[in-house]
Amino acid sequence: MDYYKSPTKDMMFLLDVFDYESRVSTLEAFADYDKDMVGAILDTASAVCIDKLLPLNSVGDAEGLKWDPETGDVTTPEGFKGAYATLVENGLLGVTCTPEYGGMGGPEVLGIYSSEIMIATNKSFSMCPGLSRGLIDALAAHGSDEQKEFYLPKLISGEWSGTMCLTEPQCGTDLGLIRTKAIPQDDGSYKLTGTKIWITFGEHDLAENIIHLVLARLPDAPEGIKGISAFIVPKKIDGELNNVKCTGLEHKMGIKASPTCVIDMEDSTGFLVGTPHKGMRSMFVMMNAARLHVGVEGIALGSIAYQTALAFAKDRRQMRAIDPAKQDQNAAADNILVHPDVRRMLLNVKATTEGLRALGAWISMEYDVAHHHPDADTRKAADDIVALLTPVIKSYGSEQGFLNISEAMQVCGGAGYTTDWNIEQYMRDERIALIYEGTNHIQALDLVGRKLRIDSGRLLRTFQGRISELIVESKDDERMAEFLTPLKTISKKLVGATMEMGGAAMEDPEVVGAVASPYLNLFAMCALTYVWAKQAHYVLNNDVPFGETKLKTARYFNTKILPQAETLIATIATGKSNIMDFDIEELEVI
C-alpha cells in the first residue's frame, strides 16, 4: 500500500529560507513565477502524480516490461501510456524548458520540486521525462539552430522522448574506450555502427519517436576521451525506422518498469551535435543536470518510505512504554511511537530527508541565478556553489536516501520486508542511484580531484563565504548560538581535513582515491549543518506555523547525526593506510 502526501508545505517554506522572491523571481526570465505561481504548479503536479502515477508504482514493479525479440519493441506496464499522455496534456514535461520552443520557462527549483514528486510517486516512470530533459539541455547548449528548431518542440512537449547513449560492453566510466563508429556521408549526415548498453528508456511505447544522443568516434578521431563526438540518432526519420534496435533488456534489482536496453546500431543515420571530437561537452551538460536529479531520488524515495513507516508506526502496538506515565491502560500494548528507538529511526530519516531537500532547493536556486542573473560576478559565485555541491548531493543524497529507506523498513519490522508496505520496492528502486550517472566514488573524485582545485580553491572559498555571511548576520542573536556553534565547528574541521588531505596527496597521490568518499560525506555534513542553520535563522525571525518543529529537527540533526562527522574526520586522517598494503593474493578467501 502506498502512503504519500506531497511535501509542498516544506518546499514552499524553503523558497522563503533561501530568498526565492528576491533572488529568483526578480530575474527577468522568471518574472511570471512568483511564489503563488510556483505553488499552483506544484499543486497541479502533485494532484496528477498522486492520481495517475502512484497507483501504477507497484503495478509496474510487478508486471514489468514486455520485449519482442523479433521487432525489438518494448511495451510498458498497463496504464503507463495513459499516464504519460496525461502529463503531456498538462504540460508537466516541459516545466523548466525554454518558452521559445514550447516550454513553460519555469525556474530550476520548480523543476527539482516537480521531479521529487514524480520520483516519489513512480520512479520507474519518472526516468523517461528525466532523460528527455537531459537531452533538451544538451541540444539547447550545443545543438545547431536547425536542430533546436526541429527537435526541441517535440521533446519539450513529450511527443518525442530522449536518451543518452554512453556505455558500451567494454567501457562504462572510462569513456575513452568507446568503439562506436560514425562515418561521414556526402549529404552531411553520418552512419553509426556500434552497441550501447544500459540505455534507460532506449525503447518504449510512450512517445512517437525516441531521439538518442550517442557518443561515437569519427574515422580521424584521436585516441581516448579527446576523440569522442556526439550525434543525434533518431529511432525514426520521416516516419521510417532508422535501424536502431533494442536487442535486449536488463533484468534488474529494481526500477523494473523502466526499460534498460541494449541498443544496436548498424549504419544508422545520425547527425553531429556541436564540434567534432568535442562530444563530451554536450554529454556533460546532460549528465550534470541528471546528477542533481539523482540526488533528489534519495530525497523522494526517502520521503515516501518515511511516510509509509510513520503510517505503520501510528497503528502498530507492541510491548509497554518504558515510561509508565506513557502506558495506555486501555490496551494490552502501547503504540510503538512511545519507544525511543522507533523515534530515533524515524527522526534520522526526517532530519536527513528535510536537510537534503533544503540542500537541493539551495543548489537549484543558485542554478537559476548562475544562468540568468545580469551581473557576471553574481553568476560566477552562484555557479561555484552549483559546481561544488552537485557531486555532494548526487552521492550523499543517493546514499543517505538508501539508508533512510532501510531505516524506514526497520521501523516496520517484518512487515516492512514484505511487498504489502512497498518499502522493499523503494529500496530496490533507489539502489541504482548510487551507481548510475557516475558512481558515488566518481563523484567524490570529481569533488576532490577537480572542484577543489579550481582557481586554487575558489569554489570552497565561495562556499565558506556563505557560511560566514550567515554567522555574521546572526552573531548578535543569542537564539542562534546553538545552531551556529556546530556550524562553526564543522566548517573549521572541513577546512582542516581539506588541508590535511591536500598535503598528504602531494606526497602520495593514492591518498585522494583512498579518502575521497569519506571526505565527500564530511562535506555533506557541513552543507546540511549550514542549511539547517539557515532554516533555524528564518524560523526565529519569522512567523512559521510549524517553526518549532523545524527547530526541534535542526537540534536533532546537530546532536544525533552531525557527530558522525568525527568518524569521517578520523578516517580521512588515516589516508590510504591499510588499504593498499594487501597483495592481490591476500584478497582471496582464506
Q: Which residues are catalytic?
A: 437
- The CA distance from 576 to 501, in Å, is 11
Please, what is the angle between helix 510-541 and helix 8-17, to 10°? 90
Question: Under 8 Å CB-to-CB from 457, ≥6 apart: which residues?
Answer: 498
Kindly tell me the burial class for residue 417, based on how many C-beta atoms sit within 10 Å of its own C-beta (0-12, 13-18, 19 or more). middle
Closest CA to 197 of 164, 152, 230: 164
Closest CA to 511 of 578, 564, 585, 442: 578
Contact predicate 34/25, CB 8 Å: yes
DSSP string, 384-450: HHHHHHHHHHHHHHHHHHHHHHHHHHHHTGGGGGSGGGSHHHHHHHHHGGGTSSS-HHHHHHHIIII
Whose cell is 496525461? That residue is 86
- The CA distance from 550 to 547, in Å, is 5
- The CA distance from 61 to 511, in Å, is 42
Question: Under 8 Å CB-to-CB from 173, ≥6 apart: which residues?
Answer: 438, 439, 442
Name the helix (H) or strand (E) containing 569.
helix 564-573
Contact predicate 37/113, CB 8 Å: no
Which residues lie across from 216 on neighbouring strands? 229
Backbone angles phi, psi at 102, to 5 degrees: 105, 5
Residue 273: what residue type?
V
Closest CA to 434 of 399, 387, 477: 399
Closest CA to 527 of 368, 391, 356, 413: 356
Closest CA to 293 of 200, 216, 422: 200
Whose cell is 549543518? That residue is 529
φ/ψ region of 248 (left if φ > 0, alpha if ψ in -120 to 50, else beta) reads left
Q: What share of the chain is helix, strand, coil (3-state, %, to 5)?
A: 60, 10, 25
Angstrom CA distances, 125 to 118, 204, 590, stand at: 8, 11, 45
φ/ψ region of 275 (left if φ > 0, alpha if ψ in -120 to 50, else beta) reads beta
- 3-state SS assignment for residue 487: helix
Set of cell numbers at residue 308:
509509509
- The CA distance from 426 to 255, in Å, is 9
